[in-house]
Homo-oligomer: A and B are copies of this chain.
Amino acid sequence: MKNNKNLILPLGFKANGLSCGLKRSGKPDLALIYSSPAALASAKFTTSSIIAAPLIVCKKHLKSAKKFQAVLINSGNANCFTGKAGVKDAQASADYLARELKIAKHSVLVNSTGIIGKRLDLAKIKQAIPQLVAGLSSAGIHRAETAIMTTDTFAKEVSRSLKVDGKLVRICAIAKGAGMIAPNMATMLCFIMTDAAVTQPALNKALSAAVDKSFNCISVDGCMSTNDTVLVLANAAAGNKVISAGESLENFSKALEAVCLDLAKMVVADAEGATKFIQIDVCQAKNTQEAKSIALGIANSMLFKTAVFGENPNFGRVAAAVGASGFNIKEEQLKIKLGSLKDKQVKLTVSLSRGKSKCTVYTSDLTPEYIKINAEYN
């Protein structure tokens, strides 16, 4: 999971990351993704009713503009629960970056992750922006992915390419996890870049489908952050025939889903304190929603997660979670198959004898180390 020198950055994208002093540790905390030409964007945000200030700015810009050129991300401070002042700060940082890059104000998107409830140190960000812009390069993507990390123990990047009507199209994405469990530093963020030419409706559709089968199928602790964001920029630099429907959209969607799923699995693998990577397959459900709800119910059961940590093959804990799921699943419908718990990878299969739908969810175990990390953080 080390930096991949062969990461394929889509055409027209550059990035950079550096330390501007938001993190007390002095580690990198400010990242920039830049696209020329300007790109279409599509995004999925947290469904929490309390959202961070940068998301308010992002949503405004996504409404008022059609194309975007820059994403500014800081770690070390979530700029959440900071009131109107927080929104002003987020807007000011976006405006400042737009001036520096000489691009339209609305073409800048912003994001933050870190401590909730503290004002952003805007001066530090402003001061660092000229250097951040000056250092933009293809290789800078590795610096960017490091600068968005909080409690992550490794940087998360994926790239993939596909052919669309004979033209090579590239998708590259970076993400940070994994500490929804550590909301001080919380948030799952993912930024996807592609040089595909794709219509806005097709991009929206592909992202929705990809997120639904990847980031919406993982759970570390069942806690939703105020900053969760998955954002894709598509700048058409590949020069392919515009993807809008049919086979080309299908292929693009599949590639996007694969990128998201790879990153989602990395987020689970890097969950705080985790010692196990758990795959939960719920099958023979009435419909996909039933399968997903039950799989997430098991994934969020503290007692199941603790059993896996203890390598305790306790299928009663699975049965209890299924019974409590709110679907009227009876004992005689339920088949539980729990793989060996000795390995780092654990597989649980739950069959419901109710239909043909299925869903796979990924989660981690719950460990004393997880509690230690979160209890001691301040």
Interface residues of A (CB under 8 A from B): 46-51, 78, 80-81, 83, 115-117, 180-184, 186, 221-226, 301-303, 306-307, 309-310, 312, 314-317, 319-325, 327-332, 334, 366-368, 370-372, 374-378
Contact = CB atoms under 8 A, between A and B. Distances in A.
A263 to B, nearest CB: 22
B374 A371 contact: no
A316 B80 contact: yes
Contacts of A314: 116, 183-184, 378
A341 to B, nearest CB: 11
Given A186-B320, A223-B320, A310-B374, 6 more contacts: A50-B320, A50-B322, A117-B315, A181-B302, A183-B317, A368-B372
A368 B321 CA distance: 22
A317 B222 contact: no
Please classify the interface of chain A as helix (H, G, I), strand (E, B), loop, or mixed, using the class held by over half of its residues.
Answer: loop
Contacts of A226: 319-320, 323
A378 B331 CA distance: 22
A331 B83 CA distance: 7
Copies of this protein, total: 2
Nearest to A314: B184
Given A50-B330, A222-B302, A317 B184 contact: yes
Contacts of A310: 374-378
A290 to B, nearest CB: 12
A48 B320 contact: yes
A373 to B, nearest CB: 9
Contact of A224 (B116, B182, B324): B324
A324 B116 contact: no
A48 B324 contact: yes
A49 B366 CA distance: 26
Nearest to A187: B320
Contacts of A321: 223
A307 B375 contact: yes
17 contacts: A48-B320, A48-B323, A49-B328, A49-B329, A50-B329, A80-B316, A81-B319, A81-B331, A115-B316, A116-B317, A223-B303, A302-B302, A306-B374, A309-B371, A310-B374, A310-B376, A312-B378
A336 to B, nearest CB: 9
Given A319-B226, A368-B371, A181 B116 contact: no
B183 A323 contact: no
